[in-house]
Amino acid sequence: MKQKHKKLVNKAIVIGCLTFFIVLFSLMKLSQPVAEYFFARGISRAYVFLAGNIASWFPFSLFDIFVTFGILSVIVCIPFFIYYLKKKRGWKAAALLERVAIAVLTVLLLYTVTASGNYYREKVPLPMYEGEQLTGEETAELVDVLMDDYVYVSGLMKRDENGITVCPYDFDELTERIRKEYRKLDDPYFSSYVPRAKEGWYSKFLTSEGITGITFLPTGDAVVNKETPHCYKTVTTAHEIAHAVGCMREGDANMMAYYVLLKSEDPYFRYCAYMYSLGHVLQVLRIVSPELYRDIAPKYPSEARTERLAEDAFWESRYSFMDDVGEFLNDLYLKMSGSGSGTESYHDYSNYSVTYDEKTQEVKEIKVTYSQTTRVMFRIAQERRGE
């Protein structure tokens, strides 16, 4: 009995040590310099380089192996736990629980040092518009530059009989081309190692949850739901790779995906990015000048609008209560990781306020606070105009 007691105590000590380091690192990451240089540019970058290179040896995702192993472990452990309780072997049931706790805490510790700290790092250093609020005319000029390019690349797309764009690449080629775009980033903020994205085994389950991709840094994997409509799959792939190179905040990952794809010379990449990003600048134009918005909005490619409606119909046809469960769990996870707004952090839209004349009640001033994504897109438009 003493030997059995000693083993239980030893495992409890391990559990205590793991818990201590999880709490310690969780407190350390609250300091931005520590999050930036100790976690993001230090431990996380080195670990992802090692894990990502190992993962690249396999044609499948190690995250899928991890999930499969976890499911099988639960299936095996529950009957054993019940059996031990029925046979009144309490110490064996306790030992089993301790093993499970050690496994869970080990994964949690790995996640804390590789990913969680990245939520507290510095602002993403992308070229952005940093000036004062633009007038309606100035806003319209920049939006028009982006809209004209959207119309141009939309006209280059090959489409099927339903008007849906035909992706010119298989998934392996797609992810390799996106990796090449990421390698053009030369700021030390981003990891120079860009891991491969892979299509996941559990895509049907992800679809039921309304999830298009997952990046799990403990296995060095960026996993994409293969059932995702391909334009959004392209943006999702760029989004998940953004997480892997150091942009864990969801709004930052979206912004990075748009930036990398819009800066590409590949018309298909730009087309996919415009479909989900152009709304950021159109929103601002609609706020500051509804008249100019009405002039430019009709230019929006009708083929792209049809494709976006088809994508919405795809997700609506697969909606279930699991979608709400997935939304709740993702929101909880993001808030626990340090993103106070939870799933709202995906939606980086501009805010505005309106001041009215006290006497006439007419609009006196509209003050817009540009989102980071909007500032990035304005800067891209300025660069295309040679500014």
In this predicted model, what pLDDT tens digit does every residue of 137-173 receive, in sequence order?
A: 999 999 999 999 999 999 999 999 988 999 999 999 9
The pTM assigned to this predicted structure is 0.91
Please check whether residue 344 lies inside any domain of the structure: yes
What is the pLDDT, as a whole number, of residue 271? Answer: 97
Q: Which two tokens stand for residue 31?
A: 């300091």
Domain count, the chain: 2
Say if residue 88 is in the same domain as residue 146.
no
Say if residue 199 is in the same domain as residue 223.
yes
Say if residue 285 is in the same domain as residue 185.
yes
Say if residue 97 is in the same domain as residue 141.
no
Place of tokens 């190992």: 54
Indicate the helix (H) or strand (E) that contains 68.
helix 62-86
Q: What is the CA radius of gyration of the chain?
A: 24
CA distance 191 to 186: 9
CA distance 102 to 324: 30
Confidence of residue 208 (pLDDT cuts 50, 70, 90): confident
Q: Which of 249, 245, 258 is nearest to 183 (CA)?
A: 245
Please check whether residue 24 lies inside any domain of the structure: yes
Say if residue 205 is in the same domain as residue 346.
yes
Please check whether residue 129 lies inside any domain of the structure: no
Confidence of residue 18 (pLDDT cuts 50, 70, 90): very high
Average of per-residue pLDDT values in the chain? 90
Say if residue 96 is in the same domain as residue 209.
no
The residues, any chain, with a CB within 8 Å of residue 267's CB and separated by 6 or more, are 152, 153, 156, 157
User: Which of 88, 120, 152 marks a domain boundary?
Assistant: 120
Where is mean pLDDT largest: 2-6, 16-20, 346-350? 16-20
Average pLDDT score over residue span 282-292: 94
Q: How far does Cα 10 stand from its chain's mean position?
A: 39
Confidence of residue 340 (pLDDT cuts 50, 70, 90): low
User: Which of 120, 151, 176 marks a domain boundary?
Assistant: 120
Residue 124 has pLDDT above 70, yes or no: yes
What is the pLDDT, as a whole number, of residue 386? Answer: 83
Please check whether residue 336 lies inside any domain of the structure: yes
- The 10 Å CB-count burial string (b at 16+, else e) for 367-377 is ebebbbbbbbb
Please check whether residue 94 lies inside any domain of the structure: yes
What is the pLDDT, as a whole number, of residue 349? Answer: 84
Average pLDDT score over residue span 194-202: 93
- Of all residues in the chain, the percent with pLDDT exceeding 70 is 96
Say if residue 228 is in the same domain as residue 355.
yes
Q: Half-sphere exposure of residue 229, counting CA atoms within 13 Å on the CB side? A: 20
Please check whether residue 197 lies inside any domain of the structure: yes
What CA–CA distances, in Å, run from 27 to 20, 122, 338? Answer: 11, 17, 11
Q: Which of 171, 191, 218, 290 is nearest to 54 (CA)?
A: 218
Residue 1 has pLDDT above 60, yes or no: no
CA distance 324 to 134: 39
What domain range includes position 66? 2-120
The residues, any chain, with a CB within 8 Å of residue 1's CB and separated by 6 or more, are none
Q: Which residue type sits at 276?
A: Y
Q: Half-sphere exposure of residue 381, counting CA atoms within 13 Å on the CB side? A: 24
Higher pLDDT, 318 or 118: 118
Q: Half-sphere exposure of residue 102, counting CA atoms within 13 Å on the CB side? A: 15
What is the pLDDT, as a whole number, of residue 343? Answer: 65
Please check whether residue 127 lies inside any domain of the structure: no
Give the Cβ contact number of residue 293 at 10 Å: 19
Say if residue 155 is in the same domain as residue 200.
yes
Say if residue 175 is in the same domain as residue 294.
yes
Average pLDDT score over residue span 264-293: 95
Q: Is 215 in contact with 189 (CB distance < 8 Å)?
A: no
Q: What is the pLDDT of residues 54-68, one digit of tens each?
A: 988 999 999 999 999
DSSP letters, 307-331, are HHHHHHHHHHHT--HHHHHHHHHHH
Say if residue 256 is in the same domain as residue 303.
yes
Say if residue 189 is in the same domain as residue 215.
yes
Give the Cβ contact number of residue 87 at 10 Å: 10
Please check whether residue 128 lies inside any domain of the structure: no
Q: What is the pLDDT of residues 361-374, one digit of tens each?
A: 777 788 999 999 99
User: Which of 92, 120, 148 marks a domain boundary?
Assistant: 120
Q: What is the pLDDT of residues 209-248, one digit of tens each?
A: 888 999 999 998 899 999 999 999 999 999 999 999 999 9
What is the pLDDT, as a whole number, of residue 129? Answer: 94
CA distance 266 to 350: 28
What is the pLDDT, as a whole number, of residue 344? Answer: 66
Say if residue 306 is in the same domain as residue 187.
yes
Residue ranges of E strands in the chain: 197-199, 213-216, 221-224, 351-356, 363-369
